[in-house]
Amino acid sequence: MTMPVTFVEVVEVHRITPRTARITFAAEELPDTVGTTPDQQLKLCFPRPGQREPRLPARQDDPMGWYRAYLALPEAERPLMRSFTLRGRRPGTRLVEIDFVLHGDTGPAAAWALRAAPGDRLGMVGPSALYAPKVPFAEAAAAADWVLLAGDETALPALATLVGALPEGVRAYAWIEVADRTERQDLESRAVLAVEWLYRDGAAPGALLAGAFRDRALPGGEPFVWLAGEAGAVRAVRRLLVERHGVPKAGIDFTGYWRHRLTQDDAPTAEDLADARERSAGY
């Protein structure tokens, strides 16, 4: 399976909330499948200081071959890679939208997004069916009595595409923790969707989300839960779902999107590795 790799160029930057930049890129190449399903994950490659654009190995048929070529680049020239979600694609064009959480100047992705301007260039790896969930979301949602999506602002781009893909009649809940009231976004869905915003207002990341799962009751029946955000919070919420609410592990799709005080380049912790083993065993 080929991993799509292309340069993308900024055409528009729009602050959709005080801490979220929606950036529209023109992709040099874009397969037709991009933007046709929800929660499409991709990697962005950021230039090193002094580079006008990142150095990208050419696309290869073997995705691991591309990654090996990437690792073989001298470290000083190798682009920094970060994970993102396709928020949308403008129909009939090669224009894609990606929402960046502006969490500060500490990480290369957020620092780049703070200053992004038309003409700036990044590399985009994926989206690819390789990153697609084992059970498609719509299928898992249809088999459940109700659906719950929970996460923080980094999960919002994926969550928005997922609720957008839910069919009419599905009973769905979204619990979303954001910095404060100004970070709310409108979500569109044909499902019967109840959205609950949790405002951090200075509290530690994930504290409100975990608190909600500790303090509240969930509806009866068999749910399907989609969970993403800060890795420690995701872990705590998953534990509460299983131990306090009796949700079977197989009914929870969970992913740590970022790690408090660790960058995406830092080595996985023992807990990250345990999560990865559980995910590959089928959640």
Ligand X SMILES: Cc1cc2nc3c(=O)[nH]c(=O)nc-3n(C[C@H](O)[C@H](O)[C@H](O)COP(=O)(O)OP(=O)(O)OC[C@H]3O[C@@H](n4cnc5c(N)ncnc54)[C@H](O)[C@@H]3O)c2cc1C
In 3D, which of 5, 66, 10 has the Cα closest to residue 31?
A: 5
In the β-sheet with 41-46, what is the strand arrangement from edge to edge?
80-85, 41-46, 121-125, 5-17, 20-27, 95-101, 88-89
Chain positions 180 to 199 lying near ligand X, rule: CB under 6 A, are: none
| CA gap 32, 219 in Å, rounded | 39
Single out the residue of 35, 57, 88, 107 in contact with ligand X (rule: CB under 6 A): 107
Applying CB under 6 A, the span of 76-84, 167-175, 180-188, 210-218 interacting with ligand X comes to 76-84
Q: Which residue in this structure is represented by tokens 């929660």? A: 39
| CA gap 92, 161 in Å, rounded | 18
Confirm or reject binding of residue 280 to ligand X (CB under 6 A). Answer: no
**Which residue, 24 or 41, has its beta carbon nearer to ligand X?**
41
Task: Show the CA angle centred on residue 186, arms to residues 88 and 238, nearest 5°.
Answer: 85
Chain positions 27 to 46 lying near ligand X, rule: CB under 6 A, are: 41
**Which residue, 41 or 185, has its beta carbon nearer to ligand X?**
41
Confirm or reject binding of residue 263 to ligand X (CB under 6 A). Answer: yes
| CA gap 85, 43 in Å, rounded | 8
Task: Show the CA angle centred on residue 87, arms to residues 84 and 91, nearest 5°.
Answer: 135
- Chain-centre distance for alpha carbon 205: 16
Single out the residue of 261, 270, 281, 282 in contact with ligand X (rule: CB under 6 A): 261
Give me the sign of the Cα torsion angle 273, 80, 91, 4: negative
Q: Say how many residues touch ligand X, by CB under 6 A.
A: 25
Single out the residue of 260, 269, 271, 276 in contact with ligand X (rule: CB under 6 A): 260
Applying CB under 6 A, the span of 29-37, 139-147, 231-239, 252-260 interacting with ligand X comes to 252-260
Q: Helical H runs in the chain?
A: 63-72, 108-115, 137-143, 156-165, 207-215, 231-243, 270-280
Confirm or reject binding of residue 85 to ligand X (CB under 6 A). Answer: yes
Single out the residue of 71, 143, 203, 262 in contact with ligand X (rule: CB under 6 A): 262
> What's the number of CA atoms in the CB half-sphere (13 Å) around residue 41?
13
Binding mask 110-149 for ligand X (x = CB under 6 A): x---------------------------------------
Applying CB under 6 A, the span of 7-15, 51-59, 261-269, 272-280 interacting with ligand X comes to 261-269
Applying CB under 6 A, the span of 94-102, 166-174, 191-199, 245-253 interacting with ligand X comes to 94-102
Confirm or reject binding of residue 48 to ligand X (CB under 6 A). Answer: no
Positions that interact with ligand X (CB under 6 A): 41, 82-85, 99-101, 103, 106-110, 154, 157, 255, 257-264
